[in-house]
């Protein structure tokens, strides 16, 4: 199993979950952008699940903000989620950049999927 995987989970139907695991920085940000592009191209809501992520840097935040902007432009729901406990390498950058309410970041994948369904502007 790949340590720093980024995979799409479409079992929620109309919302695609981009599952991000491990450490991510400028090296893996292009892969994240590809996965986000693929998720956006499906036309439904998008959830980025950082529950199993252990580290993300500003390259990752840049990719998330770009995807969020494009989702908003095309009325697709976009939500980031974390688990009950969040690695300091993820929580800290979200906290000090004030991006929790902006992206937005919710706790729990199910809640995030529901939110992505309802914040797309057409659901």
Tracing tokens 């580290």 back to the chain, one arrives at 55
Positions 83 through 122 that interact with another protein (CB under 8 A) = 87-89, 92-93, 96-99, 102
Q: Where are the beta strands (DSSP E) in 1-123?
A: 6-9, 15-20, 22-24, 45-49, 53-56, 78-82, 105-107
Q: Does 23 bind another protein (CB under 8 A)?
A: yes
Q: Does 55 bind another protein (CB under 8 A)?
A: yes
Binding interface with another protein (CB under 8 A): 23, 25-27, 30, 33, 55, 57-59, 61-63, 65-66, 68-69, 72, 87-89, 92-93, 96-99, 102
């Amino acid at each position: 199993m790949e340590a720093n995987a980024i995979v799409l989970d479409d079992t929620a139907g109309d919302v695609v979950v981009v599952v991000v695991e491990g450490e991510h920085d400028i090296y893996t940000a292009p892969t994240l952008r590809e996965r986000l592009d693929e998720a956006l191209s499906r036309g439904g809501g998008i959830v980025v699940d950082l529950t199993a992520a252990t580290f993300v840097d500003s390259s990752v935040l840049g990719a998330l903000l770009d995807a969020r902007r494009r989702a908003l432009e095309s009325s697709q729901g976009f939500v980031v989620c974390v688990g009950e406990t969040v690695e300091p390498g993820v929580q800290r950058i979200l906290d000090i950049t004030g991006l929790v309410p902006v992206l937005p970041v919710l706790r729990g994948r199910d809640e995030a999927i529901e939110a992505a369904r309802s914040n797309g502007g057409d659901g």
